[in-house]
């Protein structure tokens, strides 16, 4: 059922991009997306499918420990305990969380839409493989990424709220702190673009000098069971070189259009070079939604409807089709 549901979402996503109507998103895609999440949660909590980490989160809902492990990410751990206390059901608690992330992603999607176009960012993100592994497995990191993306989407016109949600994300998953360079290069108080680029790059350098010696993830934390850090690094370098070439006449335009790409590329290269592949892979999965967000925003500047939709379809297929190719993801869809 999950495989059929995912394919239905992917096919509907293609149609939605072609027609680009808000009605398709609101009245067809989102209800089907939530229905898909119901199937995912039923497989985890009723039919005992492969979603082992999700089941573990369900067990943690009943915990009473105040160990430092829980305190340093208290928003998530105590949040799911409160939901379980209210609902007395792991299934219902997770479905409420799913409603919340779908709502936040809808807010992000509506934030970028202009002049009745650009209603499909949610559709591209919902089936992309970083999000797929997120709601199937690494839910805490996934939820932090959703909150971060919402914060990123409002930083230009609601800075105080953006800062608040950024701090919330840190206490959902501490790895969120490493996303700060992406925010700084996009907007940092009244600093000019050149200054933001320097500050972001300095922070990246500090992370790379300090963190590899104190931060590591165990092999058991691998969400995909294969090392994708090199793949992410190659992808980011390719995109970086492509946009450098495309905007070679004015490099500052490149930074304005895809601000997340520079710090994402530098951090990924750095952690791979320090042989911190697990951190690089986790960060790569978090970076991709921000890069999709920026490229999608750029697509809305394209006057030609055909070229705009072609780019959006490319984003959808590039990041969603791998779900149907990885053995690790197909195990969730069985």
Specify the number of domains making up the chain: 1
Taking only the tens place, the pLDDT of each residue in 105-116 is: 999 999 988 767
Lowest mean pLDDT among 16-20, 82-86, 150-154, 162-166: 16-20
Q: Is 250 left (phi over 0), alpha (psi -120 to 50) or beta?
A: beta
> Cβ(183)–Cβ(294) under 8 Å?
no
Please, what is the average pLDDT of the chain? 91
Q: Integer distance in angstroms from the first to the last C-alpha of the chain? A: 8
Helix (H), strand (E) at residue 309: helix 305-320
The SS3 of residue 117 is strand
Burial of 94 (0-12, 13-18, 19+ CB in 10 A): buried
What pLDDT is stored for residue 32 in this prediction? 97
Structure tokens at 186: 């996009």
DSSP tag of 175: G
What pLDDT is stored for residue 125 in this prediction? 97
Given a cut of 60, whether residue 220 has pLDDT beyond it is no
Taking only the tens place, the pLDDT of each residue in 168-202 is: 999 999 999 999 999 999 999 989 999 999 999 99
What pLDDT is stored for residue 217 in this prediction? 47
Domain that residue 288 falls in = 2-333
Main-chain dihedrals φ then ψ at residue 141, nearest 5 degrees = -65, -40
Given a cut of 50, whether residue 36 has pLDDT beyond it is yes
Most confident of 46-50, 206-210, 222-226, 325-329: 206-210
């Amino acid at each position: 059922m999950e495989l059929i549901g995912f394919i239905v979402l992917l096919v509907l996503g293609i149609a939605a991009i072609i027609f680009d109507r808000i009605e398709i998103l609101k009245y067809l895609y989102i209800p089907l997306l939530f229905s898909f999440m119901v199937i995912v949660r039923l497989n985890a909590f009723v039919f005992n499918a492969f979603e082992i980490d999700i089941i573990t989160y369900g067990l943690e809902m009943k915990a009473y420990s105040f160990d430092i492990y829980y305190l340093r990410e208290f928003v998530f751990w105590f949040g799911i305990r409160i939901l379980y206390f209210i609902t007395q059901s792991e299934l219902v608690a997770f479905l409420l969380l799913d409603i919340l992330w779908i709502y936040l992603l809808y807010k992000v999607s509506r934030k970028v839409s202009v002049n009745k176009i650009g209603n499909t960012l949610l559709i591209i993100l919902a089936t992309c493989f970083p999000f797929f592994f997120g709601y199937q497995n690494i839910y805490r990191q996934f939820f932090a990424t959703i909150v971060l993306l919402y914060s990123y989407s409002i930083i230009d016109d609601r800075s105080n709220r953006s800062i608040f949600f950024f701090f919330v994300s840190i206490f959902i998953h501490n790895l969120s702190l490493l996303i700060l360079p992406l925010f700084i290069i996009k907007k940092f108080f009244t600093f000019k673009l050149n200054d933001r680029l320097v500050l972001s790059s300095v922070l990246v350098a500090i992370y790379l000098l300090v963190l590899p010696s104190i931060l590591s993830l165990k092999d058991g934390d691998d969400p995909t069971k294969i090392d994708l850090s090199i793949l992410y690094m190659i992808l980011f370098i390719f995109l970086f070189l492509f946009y450098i070439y495309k905007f070679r006449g004015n490099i500052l335009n490149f930074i304005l259009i895809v601000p997340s790409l520079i710090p994402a590329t530098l951090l990924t290269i750095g952690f791979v070079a320090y042989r911190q592949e697990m951190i690089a892979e986790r960060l790569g999965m978090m970076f991709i939604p921000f890069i999709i967000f920026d490229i999608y925003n750029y697509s809305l500047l394209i006057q030609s409807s055909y070229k705009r939709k072609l780019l959006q379809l490319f984003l959808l297929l590039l990041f969603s089709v791998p779900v149907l190719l990885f053995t690790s993801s197909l195990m969730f869809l069985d």
